[in-house]
Structure 1
Amino acid sequence: MKRVEKKNLSRITDWCQAVMESRAPRGGLYIDATMGNGNDTLFLCQMAGNEGQVLAFDIQKEALETTRELLEKHGVHSRARLILDGHQHMERYAGPESADVICFNFGYLPGGDHRIATSPATSVEAVEQGLRILKKGGMMSLCIYSGGDTGFEEKEALLAFLGTLPPRRYTVIVNTYYNRGNHPPVPVFIFKE
């Protein structure tokens, strides 16, 4: 099995994957909280190896079908459990301090219906649950896209919540594409101490 090559580390998803890969142990439990087209799920399955497991969530059946096809194409489908449920229900599927890495891409399914998107209330709830699920020493990656109907509100709600996390328990790093206009995405990394 060949790993997906990083084409552009200045692209938010590639940058977040590089940071996850630098910190995550192989063979762990990884969660893709917003599977979308399955690219992060594939990345996590490859990182998991034969001993690891990936839980991937989405509310759209189309996302699950696209992801399943992608994983089968790369021969890693047995490493993932694809779950048709909202990310705010992660605790139904993973226990406290069980995950090594959790990743989010907030917004809508690329190429999908833009009216179906993550929302501020469920996204903050999902991050809260994810922090309880995350192991000590684990990390969470957030790709926050603004724009659309709820994107700015969601971005502000997430950043406000992250600002309240106790610094002795979490390190929160918010990155900025400083010289890009038009509301560039915000990559965020959370490390649980």
Structure 2
Amino acid sequence: MRVLKNSLGISHEVVEKVVCAGDIVVDATAGNGNDTVFLAKLVGDSGHVYCFDIQDKALENTREKLINENVLDRVTLIKDGHENIDRYVEAGIKAVMFNLGYLPGGDHKIHTRPETTIMAIQKSLELIVPHGIVMLVIYYGGDSGFEEKDAVLEFLRELDCRKYSVLMYHFINQINCPPIAICIERLKG
């Protein structure tokens, strides 16, 4: 059994320690629905998940998984960019999850972008409760993602350490640009 989990495993482990039944959470990038289902199970019948994506295919994949897991009623699927989170969700969020890059199995030309991702992170940080978290998994390499990774890391380095703690989990000896997990905890209200 491996001791060190990959970035996605770490993101789930961290979120699982923070999110409880009844919480309000956000999946900022629906993708194929895995994080949305994970979050829906964590918040239980009394909580709620807001799920964003700009691609119909991602929302269809997610809806199908939610139906199969019998948790669709806990989720609001939103066809819009995550940078518009504040149009749909009020303050009081416990956690926001991002998987940056492109839809697995989808068109690589459609991917998250630095300017909208940073805007979404900024708004998420304003909407989460103290000791709530924003969890990022940054996929990069191949044909996309380097510019976004660099811009996001630069933005995060500038966050006020009196208001936010930022932890990066990154394998440094693996090939092919392994994903990076980043957790941002809001320290103050």
* Matching residue within 4, 15, 18 for 2:13: 18
Long gaps (5+) in structure 2: none
- Aligned AA (1:77): L
Cα separation, 2, equivalents of 1:109 and 1:167: 32
Cα separation, 1, equivalents of 2:154 and 2:171: 19
Cα separation, 2, equivalents of 1:91 and 1:37: 23
- 2:102 aligns to what? 108
Cα separation, 1, equivalents of 2:132 and 2:178: 26
Superposition pairs for residues 35-50 of structure 1, below 5 Å? 35-50=30-45
CA shift, 1:11, in A, is 2.5
Structure 1's 94 and 166: CA in aligned 2 closer, same or farther, altered over 3 A? same
TM-score (norm 1): 0.93
2:88 aligned with 1:86: no
Matched-pair contact (CA < 8 Å) for 1:119–1:150: no
Cα separation, 2, equivalents of 1:177 and 1:123: 23
- Aligned AA (1:36): G
Matched-pair contact (CA < 8 Å) for 1:30–1:100: yes
* Matching residue within 157, 175, 181 for 1:187: 181
- 2:163 aligns to what? 169
What secondary structure sits across from 2:42 in the alignment?
helix
What secondary structure sits across from 1:131 in the alignment?
helix
- 2:58 aligns to what? 63
Alpha-carbon RMSD: 1.4
CA shift, 1:149, in A, is 4.5
- 1:3 aligns to what? none
Cα separation, 2, equivalents of 1:126 and 1:106: 12
2:17 aligned with 1:27: no
CA shift, 1:10, in A, is 1.7
- 1:4 aligns to what? none
* Matching residue within 152, 155, 177 for 1:158: 152
- 1:51 aligns to what? 46
Cα separation, 2, equivalents of 1:12 and 1:162: 18
- 2:70 aligns to what? 75
- Aligned AA (1:145): Y
Cα separation, 2, equivalents of 1:68 and 1:8: 33
Cα separation, 1, equivalents of 2:131 and 2:168: 18
Cα separation, 2, equivalents of 1:128 and 1:146: 21
Percent identity between the aligned chains? 42
CA shift, 1:39, in A, is 0.1
TM-score (norm 2): 0.94
